Structure 1
Amino acid sequence: MTATTYGAGTTTKTAQPFHSVPAVDGLPFIEEAGKVAPKDARQLSKLFFDRLQSLEEGTAAYSYARSTLIEMNMSLVRFSARRFRGRGPEEMEDILQVGTIGLIKAIDRFDLSREVEFTTFAVPYIVGEMKRFFRDTSWAVHVPRRLQELRVELAKARDHLTAVLDAVPTIAELAAYLEITEEDVIEGLVASNGYTAGSIDVPAGGDEGEDAGRSYTDTIGAPDPAMELVEDFHALAPMLGKLDDRERLILQLRFGQEMTQAEIGAELGYSQMHVSRLISRTLAKLRAGMLTEA
């Protein structure tokens, strides 16, 4: 990392990464913020966030601090995008772009007084934007690409045969025209239902009786807030396997059996303070493992 120190009497000349924005007094000038190592980025981010809170929005100083924070933490966007690997290059580019939007939202809303690491605060924002992208642009349900392409071919064939036959073609006629089996036609037609989804607010009952006016929303259960934790638990499982027996036991007693630190200490022959340190150290190890998996 190449930097210029201001106010200390020493200056190292470097090329500015933001040519229209001068370095800010009290902040290091970072030549290539996107290449700062994650460990250094965490320390520098605290400095920049602290300074950002005292700067006036819209000033050159504020823009410099905010832009540097975005570039330094782009590794969080790339890390979050790994769970969507396997997509095409163009789709991955879109994922990184919407992830960057999440990063910017996290930077604008982060407050050092929360006493939480920025990485922990930012990742849910980043992943949330990525998931929203898929929700808004993807099929209503997951459908294999083969069936997505078959849906298009079936739609073209149905339009053509309808014009030629002056009637809606049968499954057999569609199969003969496309030179595929009737089973493939049926599978394609069923899969095409996954392209759009009906609203659950549409009335499901008839015009009379107790179901009149009721929608599907009225018949389903309430959202389970724990569902958002499923993915986190899945990522946490291998980290737990790397803990030693004592660490796993203490976590089991504290969070599984909901014992107090004093009760755990009495059970294992440790002081309450020692149990507190062990729990904090173990949780920090798990948190670091999940954030630095990349």
Structure 2
Amino acid sequence: MTPRVMAYRVRHEDVPDTSEAFERAAGLPDGPEKDRTREEIVCAWLPMADRLAGRFRHRGEALEDLRQVAAIGLVKAVERYDPYRGTAFESFAVPTITGELKRHFRDRLWSVHVPRRVQELRGRVRDARDELAQRHGNMAPTVEDVALHAEMTEDEVLMGVEAMDCFSVLSLDANLSALDEEGSATPGDSLGGWDEALDAVINRESVKPNLRRLPDREKRILFMRFFHGMTQSSIAKDLGISQMHVSRLINNSCARIRREVMRDAA
């Protein structure tokens, strides 16, 4: 065992010696006995996986869920590890488990899709804030302080700060600080509804060319009926014809336009 690994084991008591178990598992064929040996190894290294999961506990995810993700990474590391390559299992397992935890945050917890570059900016801003907070106490660092410390532009810092809120979304029913006359406002109050007039716009545009082809009297009658809201009797009186004649002209004109619109659509 190298001096580096020995020094690491002194700092952490959750680094067991499972070299013999790994060699035994490597010599076994696939089957129940090999699975049991690997399970023993996983159980022995679970405390280390829990410690690695604890590093991510302040990022908006429950610690128990993080431990489960770390355990999955540990299982993958045990399955992939080759004891005959001369690398200590800890050196192989730590990046595997950490990578599994980072993928969990990257793929599962973002409520809003954020580009990879912005995610990286978020991490740099978070680390810079933590380091400055440890250095200067509880005083919150300014955007300029973070930019100088992390060697970033202020725009990049602001982008990273905005990305910190993308793990969770605000409910449409959440109360906002602004109050209106009727009480507290919510984000849902600012959302628009479906405009039923949009269907009318589509219909009007569809029939316009066909309306232009109608005789002048039929166009005038339809305009008076559907745009001015006049009754058939009022139209008949205005034009000096019978109400029955007006009704017949309206029905014939509408039927003609309907046929032409259906024909054009086909």
TM-score normalized with structure 1 length: 0.37
- Higher RCO (C-alpha 8 Å, min separation 6): 2
More helix by share: 2
State the structure with more CA Rg: 2
